[in-house]
Amino acid sequence: MGDRFKSISLGQGQGPEAAAMMDEGQRSGNWVCLQNCHLYTSWMPELEKIQERQDVSMMNQDYRLWLTTFSSPAFPVPVLQSGIKLTNEPPKGLKANMARTFADIGEEGYELCEQKPREYKKLVFALAYFHAAILERRKYGAIGWNERYEWMTSDFDCSNAQLRMFVAEQPEVPYQALNYIVSEVNYGGRVTDDRDIRTINSMLRKYFCPEIMSDNYRLSKLDIYYAPPEGNLASVLEYLE
């Protein structure tokens, strides 16, 4: 279905195009994906009407409609009731979060930085630890963060791509630049409280530092948290277990 998959990110004014895509999909048997329905709640009643008007007997049997959304009270209940629901939630706990992060990176991605493999592997582990730690802090309410921020996998992916580029292209690891880009721009772009900005900057400075290259450097006061020695992805997953 790769050539017959059509998607659109919903937003103001995208309703007619989404409706036309659904109409074409019903006739041609395409898969149609309407992304971010929560960003266009005013069009949701129209989506419900389109679903009610469709004639299953006249519909191509290959047609499927996929909808992505955050939880929203404006999402039409009849549409929910007529479909299959799938929920994607971040894994609970530091270990589970980091394990999924490295599973997403994969063996090929983990070995992609051939210029400085040791430096990249140490820093990407530190980045994964940072990503998991800031997400876990949210469970403590205002003690963790003054506001609840919705950091996502895309924040890590963007930071990881920039990390790989900076490490590969610079003669020395630019720790100051990496700290600024990751904590101030990528993750900090979602942060609105000035004290939370100070916290996230302080946390990353403990992980993105020259000391991370030492196998004896600890990421916290507990001895079990450290960036493991350079190895393959399987050794990292074994350490995480």
94-240, what's its fold?
Answer: Helicase, Ruva Protein; domain 3 (1.10.8)
Residue 163, phi then psi, degrees to nearest 5: -60, -50
Rounded to the nearest integer, the mean pLDDT of the chain is: 91
Residues 6+ apart with CB under 8 A from 201: 179, 183, 184, 188
Model confidence, pTM = 0.70
37-57: average pLDDT = 87
Per-residue pLDDT of 76-135, as tens digits, reads: 888 888 889 888 776 788 999 999 999 999 999 999 898 999 999 999 999 999 999 999
Mean pLDDT over residues 10-29, rounded? 90
Model confidence at 54, in pLDDT bands (50, 70, 90)? confident
Q: Using CA atoms, how far apart are residues 138 and 199, in angstroms rounded to an integer?
A: 13
Domain ranges of the chain: 2-81, 94-240
Q: Are 151 and 197 in contact (CB under 8 A)?
A: no
**C-alpha gyration radius of the chain:** 22
121 close to 110: Cβ distance less than 8 angstroms:
yes
Tokens of 149: 């921020």
Helix, strand, coil shares, percent, the chain, to 5: 60, 5, 35
pLDDT at 186: 93
Percent of the chain with pLDDT over 70: 100
DSSP single-letter state for residue 91: P
What's the rounded Cα separation, in Å, for the pair 237 and 99?
A: 6
Tens-digit pLDDT profile for residues 171-190:
999 999 999 999 999 999 88
Architecture of domain 2-81: 3-Layer(aba) Sandwich (3.40)
Q: How many CB atoms lie within 10 A of CB 64?
A: 16
State the pLDDT at residue 172. 94
CA-based nearest residue to 37, from 25, 27, 24, 46: 46
pLDDT(155) > 80: yes
* Cα-Cα-Cα-Cα dihedral sign, residues 108, 225, 163, 101: positive
